[in-house]
Amino acid sequence: MEHSGEKFSETSFSDKDLTGHVFEDCSFDKCELRDAILTRTRFIDCKFKSCDLSNAVLKSATFRDVAFDDCKLLGLQWAQLATLVNPSFRESNLNYCGFVGLKLKKTTFYKCNLRETDYSQADVSESDFRESNLLNARFNGTSLLKSDFRRAKDYLIDPIANQVRGARFTLPEAQGLLAGLGVVID
């Protein structure tokens, strides 16, 4: 089923099977997509505002030029997607998500909760993590070149196991760069 230019407001797709649906230039406002099956579903040029997509099944789905503002996206395994191009996340909750191995250059994660999120082997260079909470987020073999972590908090990033050249940090949170080096700060 194809949807073009449609506006969905306070609509519940929770637990629904949307396999193969195509949403192009659609907006979702206060919609529920918790536990929805989005297998091979395509979202192109869509905007999500105050929506809940927690634990949705993303297998082989496509998200291209999609913006999430004030959304709840808990436990999503973004690496299962067929395509993830130019997403934007603002003031959203992405706790327990997996971005393992994805190429996400210049992605916005502004003021997001990113606790326990896995960025291992991902390329998030030139991305915006400003004012985000990264408690127990995993960075291993991650490209963070020129990324912006100003006023982000609770991150532990090993500068030897990750590429951090040109990344921006603020004190005192930048001490999280030294934790992996075994340095003691008094």
| Matching residue, tokens 């436990």 | 75
CA contacts within 13 A on the Cβ side of 60: 6
Amino acid at 163: Q
54 burial type by CB count under 10 A (0-12 exposed, 13-18 middle, 19+ buried): buried
Give the chain's domains with CATH numbers. 1-70 (2.160.20.80), 94-186 (2.160.20.80)
Q: Say which residue, 184 or 94, is predicted with more confidence.
A: 94
Sheet holding 83-85, edge to edge: 2-4, 22-24, 42-44, 62-64, 83-85
Contacts from 85-92 at CB under 8 Å and sequence distance 24+? 87/63, 92/68
Q: Tell me the β-bridge partners of 37.
A: 17, 57
Amino acid at 89: F
Residue 185 pLDDT > 90, yes or no?
no
pLDDT of residue 6: 97
Nearest Cα neighbor of 13 from 63, 45, 46, 57 is 57
182 burial type by CB count under 10 A (0-12 exposed, 13-18 middle, 19+ buried): exposed
Q: Are 156 and 173 in contact (CB under 8 A)?
A: no
pLDDT of residue 163: 96
pLDDT digits (tens, 9 = 90+) for 3-58: 999 999 999 999 999 999 999 999 999 999 999 999 999 999 999 999 999 999 99
Residue 181 pLDDT > 90, yes or no?
no
Q: Is the pTM of this model over 0.95?
A: no
Residue 179 pLDDT > 90, yes or no?
no
Between β-strands 88-90 and 27-29, what pairing exists: parallel, antiparallel or unpaired?
unpaired
Report the alpha-carbon distance of residue 130 to residue 152 in Å, rounded: 5
Report the alpha-carbon distance of residue 55 to residue 141 in Å, rounded: 26
Percent of the chain exceeding pLDDT 70 equals 95
Q: Are 2 and 22 in contact (CB under 8 A)?
A: yes
pLDDT of residue 171: 86
What would the two tokens of residue 34 be?
A: 């918790």
pLDDT of residue 71: 98
